[in-house]
A = this chain, B = another copy of it.
Amino acid sequence: MSDTDELLSIRAAELYYEENQTQDEIGVILRLTRWKVGRLLASAKANGFIRIEIVHPRARRLPIERRLRESTGLTDAIVVSSAGVSSDAELQSRTAQAAADYLTSLRPIPRTLGISWGRTLHDVSLHLKQGWAPGVNVVQINGGVSLNQRTGTAASTAVTIAHKADGSATLLPSPAIFERLETKQAMEADRTVAGVLALARNAQAYVFSAGQADANSALVDSGYLTVAQIDDLVTRGAVGDVVGRYIDQNGRIVDPELNERTVGIQLDQLRRAPLTIAVISGRSKHAIARAVVRNGLCTVLVTDEDTANALLQD
């Protein structure tokens, strides 16, 4: 397009989008036919001079969702807009909201829903509306927090989600990671625990988040791992954890021995499940999000625009 046409297209766009003139009126002002004006506006759009943004906490980015589905093979992708977001916390809240919306709209409604725990899942539980689903049985799929003052977060997340669905919660009464393998095995042998784990393995749908591999991990907060242990895992290629299990960028368990001592369903069980919803957002989780998506650990991803774009870079 010629230079003067480019300038004209900008003048036309100003009158069209900012002054709400019709293409006809613009034609009179710029001494053009209305068809020419229409073509100029189309070219302004095609050249990317017109940027349309939906500024709202609930806004999603459908084109990015589509590209993400196409390039990764996910069955569904939910991408929240990061337009006008100032803090990471706000972004995560938006993502949790979107996850809650997604759960609410799920059809058929899962009878048993396996969930992990953490800040994100807690956030999701808060965003769910009372009565979001009728009678869902929520089952915890990995061992919960129980070593310090944050006791009960894991349980309360499951209970809240179940309560709001007028359903029931099945808790996994176990630490996330045992110090000794024998203790863990003894625990798993217990009928109650074995029953919960069996229920977890047969859930119709899973919702989980993922943690980045750094000192801010919930597993460090909860006292299951030390910062030194995390550092070691990172050295060995860990990018983050999924249901308490640390993986590298190829989705492989980084420390099999540690993995053995971790209570909850196996990653392969997640991989085989037909509906696994990962809720991951924030700058620091790009790497673990990539690992989760690239290695088939989820079929549905709920995330933010920036993380989605990072995934599309590859």
Chain B residues with Cβ under 8 A from A52's Cβ? 17-18, 50-53
Chain B residues with Cβ under 8 A from A55's Cβ? 48-51
Q: Bound state CA distance, A210 and B248, in angstroms?
A: 59
Interface residues of A in 1-43 (CB under 8 A from B): 7, 10, 13-15, 17-19
Q: Is the CB of B10 within 8 A of A54?
A: yes
Max count, chain B CB within 10 A of own CB: residue among A7, A56, A62: A56
Interface membership of A294, Cβ < 8 A: no
Q: How far is the CB of A26 from chain B (nearest CB, A)?
A: 12
Q: Is the CB of A61 within 8 A of B18?
A: yes
Q: Is the CB of A15 within 8 A of B62?
A: yes
**Neighbour of A19 across the interface among B13, B19, B48, B62, CB < 8 A:** B62
Chain B residues with Cβ under 8 A from A62's Cβ? 14-15, 18-19
Interface residues of A in 209-229 (CB under 8 A from B): none
Chain B residues with Cβ under 8 A from A44's Cβ? 54
Query: Hey, which bits of chain A sit against chain B, CB under 8 A?
Result: 7, 10, 13-15, 17-19, 44, 48-56, 58-63, 83
Q: How far is the CB of A81 from chain B (nearest CB, A)?
A: 9
Q: Is the CB of B54 within 8 A of A53?
A: no
Chain B residues with Cβ under 8 A from A15's Cβ? 62
Q: How far is the CB of A76 from chain B (nearest CB, A)?
A: 15
**Neighbour of A63 across the interface among B18, B53, B54, CB < 8 A:** B18
Copies of this chain, tallied across the complex: 2
**Neighbour of A56 across the interface among B10, B54, B60, CB < 8 A:** B10
Q: Bound state CA distance, A283 and B24, in angstroms?
A: 38
Chain B residues with Cβ under 8 A from A10's Cβ? 54, 56, 58-59
Given contacts A18-B63, A63-B19, contact A13 B49 (CB under 8 A): no
**Neighbour of A60 across the interface among B14, B53, B54, CB < 8 A:** B14
Instruction: With CB as the reference atom, state the residue of chain B lying closest to A21.
Output: B62
Q: Bound state CA distance, A134 and B79, in angstroms?
A: 56
**Neighbour of A54 across the interface among B14, B59, B61, B83, CB < 8 A:** B14
Q: How far is the CB of A79 from chain B (nearest CB, A)?
A: 11
Q: How far is the CB of A48 from chain B (nearest CB, A)?
A: 7
Chain B residues with Cβ under 8 A from A56's Cβ? 10, 49
Q: How far is the CB of A13 from chain B (nearest CB, A)?
A: 5
Max count, chain B CB within 10 A of own CB: residue among A18, A19, A58, A63: A18
Cβ contacts A to B, 16 pairs, < 8 Å: A7-B58, A10-B54, A10-B59, A14-B54, A14-B59, A14-B62, A18-B54, A18-B63, A44-B54, A49-B56, A49-B59, A50-B52, A50-B55, A51-B53, A51-B54, A53-B53
**Neighbour of A17 across the interface among B14, B18, B19, B54, CB < 8 A:** B54
Instruction: With CB as the reference atom, state the residue of chain B lying closest to A60.
Output: B14
Q: Is the CB of A13 within 8 A of B54?
A: yes
Q: Bound state CA distance, A61 and B19, in angstroms?
A: 10
Q: Bound state CA distance, A15 and B58, in angstroms?
A: 14
